Amino acid sequence: MRLAPQPSARPLRLPLILLLLLHVLLLGAAVVSSPVVSAGCPDRCVCDEQLVVQCAGQHLTTFPADLPLATRQLIISNNRIAELPPLALNYLSDLVYLDCSNNSLTEVSQSTFGNLRKLAYLDLSFNTLRRVEDRTFGPLASLVMLRMTDNPGLSEIHPDAFAENKALQVVDVSRNNLTVLNISSLLALPALRSVGLSGNPWSCRCDNEDLSLWVHLESFKFQDEGQTVCGSPADMQGRRLGEVGIQLRTLCHQTLGSWDYLFFVVIGFVIFAAGTVSAWLMGVVMVLYERYIKKKDEQLDLENEDESNETSHSSRGRKDCNNRSLKNTYTV
């Protein structure tokens, strides 16, 4: 199995740090006080030398206690476990394979899988999950296969839920209650080669245009593409999601709604009004300018007249002076 690079360090939230600290302390205490912890096997489970712990179908209602710390495979399927306790689960830092299918899980979050950096296979199918939040699978840098089918109430997967699972190759979210799926982070996963979407009531409206185009363009990636069909609107029901991709593309980018028409009318009016006002302003400015120029010209003319009078006087004066001085020199 290939190891993907660890996600770049993000500032950890304080509660998470506390949680980790607490967990390190508890770990130390447990190892010191009861060496049985790492050697034993939980009640109603079978443990073998290959570090496989098998607890399937044991009517468990809680996560098994006293799991061997070095457990590599944990199978707790077909029970009625309602919660995956982050503290207990994250002791198991060598865990590679985790099958939680067919339980009563209602919630998983970022802290649930906080420390499982080697986990490659995760099965959450046949549970009662309702939504998947941002970065729920964030810490799972080695995750290759994620199965999350048959959660009848699961109707929401955050766009960035898988954003950091760079090793992910197979995602199966078949037979849930999904209507839309934002594919921006899925498209960025370099190794993704198989996606299961069938058995969901997909919306075939513009809100799901990207997904349906993706199914159309890369149908080879989709398992059971024939069963991946529209659940709404009524006139699209039962049509294949991939088949309506192109139709949605044209539909969602060409038709104009009443708001668009209103927008154009308003814009037209604004342009018209702005044109009228600016023409009027232009006119006013030009008239004022013309008047100003005229006034200036008149003023200049007046000033010129004054000046020419003055200069003629002064030149006459100067001539007199010269004459007088000349006369003086002659008389000397």
Ligand X SMILES: *[C@@H]1O[C@H](CO)[C@@H](O)[C@H](O)[C@H]1NC(C)=O
Query: Of the two residues 78 and 223, which places its CB atom closer to ligand X in the complex?
Result: 78
Rounded to a whole number of angstroms, the minimum distance from the CB of residue 149 to ligand X is: 10
Q: Which residues contribute to the site for ligand X (CB under 6 A)?
A: 57, 78, 102, 126, 152-153, 155, 159-160, 177, 179, 182, 184
Query: Of the two residues 40 and 201, which places its CB atom closer to ligand X in the complex?
Result: 201
- What sign has the CA pseudo-torsion 89, 131, 145, 52? positive
**3-class SS string, the chain:** CCCCCCCCCCCCCHHHHHHHHHHHHHHHHHHHHCCHHHHCCCCCCEECCCCEEECCCCCCCCCCCCCCCCCCEEECCCCCCCCCCHHHHCCCCCCCEEECCCCCCCCCCCCCCCCCCCCCEEECCCCCCCEECCCCCCCCCCCCEEECCCCCCCCEECCCCCCCCCCCCEEECCCCCCCCCCCHHHHCCCCCCEEECCCCCEECCHHHHHHHHHHHHCHHHEECHHHCEEEECHHHCCCECCCCHHHHHHHHHHCCCHHHHHHHHHHHHHHHHHHHHHHHHHHHHHHHHHHHHHHHHHHHHHHHHHHHHHHHHHHHHHHHHHHHHHHHHHHC
Rounded to a whole number of angstroms, the minimum distance from the CB of residue 157 to ligand X is: 11
Query: Of the two residues 126 and 162, which places its CB atom closer to ligand X in the complex?
Result: 126
Rounded to a whole number of angstroms, the minimum distance from the CB of residue 81 to ligand X is: 10
For residue 229, which of 219, 239, 220 has the smallest C-alpha distance? 239
Q: Which residues contact 38 (CB under 8 A, 6 or more apart)?
A: 31, 68, 69, 70
Rounded to a whole number of angstroms, the minimum distance from the CB of residue 184 to ligand X is: 4
Query: Of the two residues 102 and 111, which places its CB atom closer to ligand X in the complex?
Result: 102
Query: Of the two residues 19 and 215, which places its CB atom closer to ligand X in the complex?
Result: 215
Query: Of the two residues 28 and 57, which places its CB atom closer to ligand X in the complex?
Result: 57
Query: Of the two residues 112 and 203, which places its CB atom closer to ligand X in the complex?
Result: 203
Token digits for 155? 């109707």
Rounded to a whole number of angstroms, the minimum distance from the CB of residue 31 to ligand X is: 33
The strand pair at 202-203 and 230-232 is best described as parallel
Rounded to a whole number of angstroms, the minimum distance from the CB of residue 235 to ligand X is: 18
Rounded to a whole number of angstroms, the minimum distance from the CB of residue 229 to ligand X is: 16
Cα gap 180→32, rounded to integer Å: 50
Query: Of the two residues 51 and 97, which places its CB atom closer to ligand X in the complex?
Result: 97
Rounded to a whole number of angstroms, the minimum distance from the CB of residue 209 to ligand X is: 8
* Residue 64 near residue 76, CB atoms below 8 Å: yes
Rounded to a whole number of angstroms, the minimum distance from the CB of residue 194 to ligand X is: 21
Query: Of the two residues 58 and 90, which places its CB atom closer to ligand X in the complex?
Result: 58
